[in-house]
């Protein structure tokens, strides 16, 4: 049973979340032979002020 956790900075639309879940599920089926019914995808939408890169918060960019 695959469990995939996707973390993104900021908010996604419902359509974007659906596309991400569908794409990841299809990839697991095609590449790893995992049935869609056993593939779990969790999306964590993290506020930009809680992410940092290059020594700066993403909210500062």
Check 2, 35, 36, 47 and give the catalytic one: 2
Which class is domain 3-60? alpha beta
The verdict on whether 2 is a catalytic residue reads yes
* Domain extents in the chain: 3-60
Which pLDDT score is estimated for 61?
Answer: 75
Which pLDDT score is estimated for 57?
Answer: 94
- Local mean pLDDT, 10-residue blocks, the chain (61 residues): 96 98 98 98 97 93 75
Cα-based angle 46, 56, 4 (whole degrees, multiple of 5): 30
């Amino acid at each position: 049973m695959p469990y995939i956790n996707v973390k993104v900075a900021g908010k996604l639309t419902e359509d974007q979340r659906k596309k991400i879940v569908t794409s990841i599920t299809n990839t697991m089926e095609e590449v790893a032979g995992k049935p869609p019914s056993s593939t779990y995808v969790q999306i964590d939408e993290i506020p930009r002020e809680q992410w940092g890169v290059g020594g700066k918060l993403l909210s500062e960019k």
